[in-house]
Amino acid sequence: MPAFDPSTAIWIVAALATCGVILRPWRVPEFVWAMGGAILLTVSGLIPPHAALHAVGEGLDVYLFLIGMMVLAELARQQGLFDWLAMYAAQHARGSGQRLFDLVFLVGTLVTVFLSNDATAVVLTPAVYAAARAAKAEPLPYLFVCAFIANAASFVLPISNPANLVIFGSHMPPLLTWLWHFTLPSIAAIGLTYLVLRFTQRAHLRQPLETTITLQPLSSGARLTAFGIVLTGIVLLSASALGVQLGLPTFCAGIATAGLIHLRQRLSPLPVLKGVSWGVLPLVAGLFVLVEALAQTGLIDQLAHALQTLAERSSVQAIWGAGVLVAIASNLINNLPASLIAGSMGHIAHLPTEVTSALLIGVDLGPNLSITGSLATLLWLVAVRREGENVSAFTFLRLGILVMPPALIGALAALSITTG
């Protein structure tokens, strides 16, 4: 009888949990699959309890960041800030589908950069749908903007994607260093994403739109929320410039903004708290445990040292190899587990900053290929279906295979130039 192989058992549990997160069989929430896999690994002894708890604890900064951002995003939704922005864009399109596309792309970029890609997917998407309907436009071309810009603009700043915090962890570079490495790749990714989307949707954008759109005044709560978001951005940029972890400042800024608005309006904060997607937290915690278990099999260690050896031989080859491979992996296993694995590789081996940057670009931008590539895209799909639109995996792939590769190639080429 063959001996029991713990590594094989770990891989089976991790694979089943990851498939559950991506496919959601029987509509069971993603966090149930992730936490279920983590608990099974711990109870069966495949990972020691202290190692599982340590893995969960490593995500503290990410949890705080997510809570702060989700509170701000839910405030913006309930106070009508995003609805106002979308209707403002529809009004100022002045009957032009191409102008509306440009305005939605600009708003989506700003929301992703300063509020994270999840905010674009969850909160901006319904507002854009409402704006398209008010303008009597086909909604899908504008909804696709929300999906693709949520990933294309997600490495402009450290706060633009929670995966950025996972990959760099406590080794987050100062803001000026971040901007040095990612400004040119971000411009390439955003610009090429815009060009391909604009070209592929050109037939829809030629259709004339409604010109008589009434814009309601911005409420005092929405103005306060906008002020809180701007102030949060300033705080986070300052924290990043000082090399301070971003989780606690984001959490404090989100809670303070919510507290100020609810005290001023004398309303209960419960509706905002109920609107927050709390299931994201156990999802991330469970994935941390799954990746820690995979690390015990030795595979991540082998990958890290192989990448380190390649980087010592040729940094350019390491940049392209790391970026392309992790982009493909993100579509196969979702970018959350991919980002955790990439972050573990950075901790195991002393990878050059440019190689770690390539890993991050692959994790952030690669998921624009498929509908299951990132958590943000999955959340976008839920929001789109809630509005009655149907986007199949094949429909998204058919567009993603045109949008993602040029943007990824452009971003990695720009990174190579920046670090060369």
What pLDDT digit, counting tens, does each position of 271-323 carry? 888 888 788 889 888 888 988 888 888 888 888 889 999 988 988 999 999 99
Amino acid residing at 233: G
pTM more than 0.85 = no
Tell me how far the alpha carbon of residue 334 is from its chain's centroid.
11
pLDDT at res. 343: 84
Is residue 232 in a domain?
yes
Q: Are 174 and 243 in contact (CB under 8 A)?
A: yes
Domain range holding 47?
Answer: 6-419
Question: In this model, does residue 153 exceed pLDDT 70?
Answer: yes
Among residues 5, 1, 17, 6, the alpha carbon closest in space to that of 291 is found at 17
Cα atoms in the Cβ-side hemisphere of radius 13 Å centred on 311: 23
Question: In this model, does residue 99 exceed pLDDT 70?
Answer: yes
First-last CA distance in the chain: 55
Q: Which residues contact 100 (CB under 8 A, 6 or more apart)?
A: 89, 90, 93, 131, 132, 135, 137, 142, 205, 209
Is residue 210 in a domain?
yes
The DSSP letter of residue 174 is P
Question: In this model, does residue 89 exceed pLDDT 50?
Answer: yes
Q: Are 149 and 186 in contact (CB under 8 A)?
A: no
pLDDT at res. 362: 95
Is residue 275 in a domain?
yes
Q: How many domains does the chain have?
A: 1
For the chain, what is the mean pLDDT?
Answer: 87
Is residue 167 in a domain?
yes
Report the pLDDT averaged over residues 201-217: 84
Question: In this model, does residue 4 exceed pLDDT 60?
Answer: no
Q: Which residues contact 387 (CB under 8 A, 6 or more apart)?
A: 125, 126, 129, 139
Is residue 28 in a domain?
yes
Question: In this model, does residue 1 exceed pLDDT 50?
Answer: no
Is residue 1 in a domain?
no
pLDDT at res. 295: 81
